Amino acid sequence: MRTTVGIIGAGPAGLLLARLLHGAGIDSVVLEARDRAYVEHRQRAGILEQGTVDVLRAAGAGARMDREGLRHDGIELRFGRRRHRVDFPALTGGRSVMVYAQTEVCRDLIALRFAEGGPLLFEAEALAVEGADTAAPRVRFRHQGREDVLECDYVAGCDGFWGVSRAAVPAGVSRVFERTYPFGWLGILADVPPSHDELVYARHDRGFALLSMRSPSVSRLYLQVPEGTEPEEWSDEDVWRELERRLGTADDWTLRRGPVTQKSVTPMRSYVHEPMRYGRLFLAGDAAHIVPPTGAKGLNLAVGDVVTLARALAHRKETGSDELLDAYSATCLRRVWQAERFSHDMTALLHRAPDATAFEDRLQLARLERITSSRAAETDLAEAYTGFPLG
Ligand code: RFL
Ligand code: PHB
């Protein structure tokens, strides 16, 4: 099998890259290890930055998002049983975000890929990227019980944090920057209308809580839990009671309960692999970097990477110049590090470390007081949350 760009992974990064390349007249083959149902049902991100929304629309993938997505003009911060709304458009000159689940973005992009007739192979697991530093890189993969080789001009490693592409970068070239956190998020999906019309981020002495949503009738809620917690350790009743405690306010706000349809635990990590390119292999999305979910940045970073890569490949096709491909890693990393900083700061602002001292608790509250009383501090949060410019 032969193609111009071999794309490993059909998450948001790989699927959107395939769509953008199709628009630029560049052919690609997408290899995805899992089956279609798995990819379309994996519960993940929920918040799209303004820039991501614009990119999906321009790629012709925005029709259902515009019908079903929920535009949000702010978030609420809760601490000390008080509530404070951060008004995005007022602070950022009109920017907002969209609540539209990653599963829906993937479903839309998969449907488009099949409609355009482009190759997308499910249950096709890449085993290794070979010859990344040559003019003829190859992806070895297994599909329907047989091993095969995809020969390409370029390889896009869009295979997430646990993929194989990153391993093709020699140890002497790679530099890894990493932090793990001593807690994770227990997330539930519940068939009940959200108890607030915007997302609520709560800091509490017992730990962080987040109220989010998937639609006007489905709530998505998270609790900070100790690292290594198993979902089975928490009954539904325990989860609701703890959410009530951490999200509780001094006024008459109440949390609506409903049937829990899904429960899982996500570990938290910050990770950056530099450089994001080795020869003709380009890493994009979670394959190159991970952020803790507190800033809602992971999916949006993946979108930024593939927009930059698609533009560079189109430039190469039109002009023969490698200039933008050579700049790919540095261009992406500027935005990646801003998102790393913001996601780390939001995590530190709102979570309670198991060994937190009374002094650190007071500092956290002082930071929150600062954000809720200084327009400059609040604007900094609003600008970062609604998104840094692409490329
Ligand atoms: P993905 O989505 O992990 O996709 C990688 C794909 O590659 C496949 N794969 C392989 N295919 C072939 N051969 C191999 N050897 C392969 N190895 C792996 C995998 O099966 C998969 O289909 O990476 P991508 O495309 O880079 O997208 C990144 C995003 O998924 C991720 O950053 C976000 O989900 C992070 N995230 C959030 N991001 C946001 O922007 N806003 C949010 O609100 C948000 N909330 C979240 C999140 C992530 C969470 N979890 C579960 C980590 C909330 C949570 C709880
Ligand atoms: C979600 O809805 O899954 C979600 C929203 C905001 C975050 C993280 C996850 O910061």
Domain ranges of the chain: 5-74+96-177+269-346
Closest CA to 28 of 376, 380, 317: 317
Q: What pLDDT does residue 388 have? A: 78
| Cβ of 211 less than 6 Å from ligand 2 | no
State both tokens at 284. 């994009």
The DSSP 8-state label assigned to residue 107 in this structure reads H
What radius of gyration do the chain's Cα atoms show? Answer: 21
Distance CA 72, CA 321 (A): 41
> Phi and psi of 147, rounded to 5°?
-85, 140
pTM, two decimals, is 0.96
Classified by CATH at the fold level, domain 5-74+96-177+269-346 comes out as: FAD/NAD(P)-binding domain (3.50.50)
CA distance 9 to 113: 14
Query: With 0-12 CB in 10 A as exposed, 13-18 as middle and 19+ as buried, what is 361?
Result: middle
- Closest residue (by CA) to atom 5 of ligand 2? 46
Which residues pair with residue 16 across a beta bridge? none
- Check residue 228 and give left, alpha or beta (phi > 0: left; psi -120 to 50: alpha): left
Q: Return the structure tokens found at 34.
A: 């899992």
Distance 290 CA to ligand 1 centre (A): 9
Q: Please, are residues 253 and 202 in contact by the beta-carbon 8 Å criterion?
A: no
- Give CA–CA dist 208/217, Å, rounded: 24
**Quick check: 8 and 124 in contact, CB under 8 A?**
no
Residue with tokens 């050579």: 326
Structure tokens at 222: 């998270």
- Mutating to test ligand 2, I would choose from 44, 75, 100, 222 the residue with most ligand atoms within 8 A of its C-beta, which is 222
String of DSSP letters for 10-27: -SHHHHHHHHHHHHTT--
Closest ligand by atom to 199 CA:
2
Distance (Å, whole) CA 184 – CA 296: 15
Q: Is 164 in the pocket of ligand 1 (CB under 6 A)?
A: yes
H/E stretch holding 214 reads: strand 209-215
Classify residue 178 by burial, with Cβ atoms within 10 Å: 0-12, 13-18, 19+: exposed
Asked whether 51 and 304 are in contact (CB, 8 A), the reply is yes
Q: Using a 6 Å cutoff on CB, does residue 9 contact ligand 1?
A: yes
Is the shortest distance between the CB of 46 and ligand 2 below 6 Å?
Answer: yes
- Reading the chain (391 residues) residue by residue, the pLDDT tens digits are 999 999 999 999 999 999 999 999 999 999 999 999 999 988 888 899 999 999 999 999 999 999 999 999 999 999 999 999 999 999 999 999 999 999 999 999 999 999 999 899 999 999 999 999 999 999 999 998 999 999 999 999 999 999 999 999 999 999 999 999 999 999 999 999 999 999 999 999 999 999 999 999 999 999 999 999 999 999 999 999 999 999 999 999 999 999 999 999 999 999 999 999 999 999 999 999 999 999 999 999 999 999 999 999 999 999 999 999 999 999 999 999 999 999 999 999 999 999 999 999 999 999 999 999 999 999 999 999 999 777 5
